[in-house]
Amino acid sequence: MTVSVWLDPLADGEQVQHPPIKADLAIIGGGVVGAACAYLAAARNLKVVVLDAGQVATGASGRNGGFVLRGIQSYYQSCVKQYGRDLARYIYTLGERNQQLLKEALGDQLAAIDYDPCGSYLLASSLEELEEQALSCTLMREDGFAVDLLSSDPLDRGYYGALHNAGDFGVNPVKLVRALLQKSGAQVLEEQSVRQIEHSNQAILITARSEKVICDTAIIATNAYSPALDSYFLGRLQPARGQMFATTPLKKKILNALCYANYGWEYFRQLPDRRLVLGGCRQPFLEEESGAADLITKPVQMALEHYLKDHFSELAGLAIEYRWSGTMAFTEDGLPLVGELPHLPGVHFAVGCNGHGLGYSMGLAERVLASSLDGNQVGYFDADRGAIYTAGRAVNDISSGHKFGSEKTAALARSPQRARMTGEFEIGP
């Protein structure tokens, strides 16, 4: 975020009253990735400070579906085709490790974060998708991953079959982030948008809205907002909007798993209070849904309502109580970026979650901590990978559907308010 001379309290004579806060590690961004970094750093006995521009978990981490999946946006078979077998295995192994680490971290608080060990159905919306699932199932089993292929629709709602991942689980993502941060013991500074990161006397000086932090190491975990923080991320990350809604609570439970359909373009689940949340339907609107503006649009919300009506006809006319959006960050090859800013040694980053940050969080945190604090190689997600992973597949053919190279940067018009527009677009019975 840029700051005009008129908006800077320091330029207007207001001085920061206290000296910079000293820390071993500063984490910029209090979403799930920043929180995971803080949690894992706690085991190292470091003084950790987390800075967030707003309140923690008000970025994408507090606006998602709460699906903690092992897989990513591509089926295993596609991953093997695009990334090669070793990397595909690595991605899914990391997903399982992330699930395990989250459960261990929150073991005594799983109920408090609405942990739902219900597993997931990846629902096939076409025969072609079911064929891809069958191939994926075979390859996954060969590589030691537990998975079931269902050749008929487990929901009886017009799907062609499904992959069943018993280990996937649902959470309340806001409670998850808050719990990780609370357990980390890190000092959390909210409403502290970082404006400048620089070297000062062999340390890193971070200037935020009204606080300064001086630290040995910094980690940027600002995902889709990163291009506004440092121009290094321009063209490397494409911000894109995802929209969702939540119905009023249903009378009874009708879903017993997280549901991810049509290659993940649509996703839905039922919450503990029996509300149904549904998201996605942005595939026909990729151009309109690029960028980081926090808004809901009539075409996508209508498409979500039609989807609900088509697959849950008994719910037609049900009131929609919440509608919202969040901003994801896509990368050219669909994989995260972990690295160190070339112009600011000591400032590391873990960004580019490609719509799966809950599934990556602990895995990315482990990678970036190991590289920033221990000097280990980043490995597959190294932002300097140069040759991006595109074996057998066109760069722009990844399921994010986003085109790269346009240098079109986001208008970062974020608003902390939740969009609550009860009934406005509702489709009748």
Of 87-95, 289-297, 350-358, 394-402, which part binds ligand FAD (CB under 6 A)?
350-358
**23-48: burial string, b at 16+ Cβ within 10 Å, e else:** bebbbbbbbbbbbbbbbbbbeeebbb
DSSP 18: S
Judged by CB under 6 A, the number of residues near ligand FAD is 40
**Using CB under 6 A, which of 25, 27, 28, 162 touches ligand FAD?**
28
d(CA 121, CA 5): 52
Using CB under 6 A as the binding rule, the residues of this chain from 162 to 191 that contact ligand FAD are none
CA-based nearest residue to 178, from 96, 55, 289: 55
Contact track, ligand FAD, 84-123, x by CB under 6 A: ----------------------------------------
Interaction between residue 32 and ligand FAD (CB under 6 A): yes
Give 28's strand partners: 51, 220
Interaction between residue 223 and ligand FAD (CB under 6 A): yes
Q: What is the number of other CB atoms lying within 10 angstroms of the CB of residue 363?
A: 25
Q: Are strands 266-270 and 276-280 parallel, antiparallel or unpaired?
A: antiparallel
CB of 169 to ligand FAD, least distance (A): 11
- Mapping DSSP to helix (H, G, I), strand (E, B) and coil, where does residue 25 land? strand
Contact track, ligand FAD, 274-293, x by CB under 6 A: -----x--------------
**Using CB under 6 A, which of 23, 27, 31, 169 touches ligand FAD?**
31
**Using CB under 6 A, which of 225, 233, 307, 381 touches ligand FAD?**
225
DSSP structure string for 158-211:
S--EEEEETT-EE--HHHHHHHHHHHHT-EEE-S--EEEEEEETTEEEEEESS-
CB nearer ligand FAD, residue 317 or residue 416:
416
CB nearer ligand FAD, residue 127 or residue 411:
411
Residue 17, CA distances (Å) to 52, 76, 124, 195 in order: 20, 54, 59, 18
Interaction between residue 381 and ligand FAD (CB under 6 A): no
Per CB under 6 A, residues contacting ligand FAD are: 1, 28-34, 51-54, 58-61, 63-67, 193-194, 221-225, 229, 242, 244, 279, 326, 328, 353, 355-359
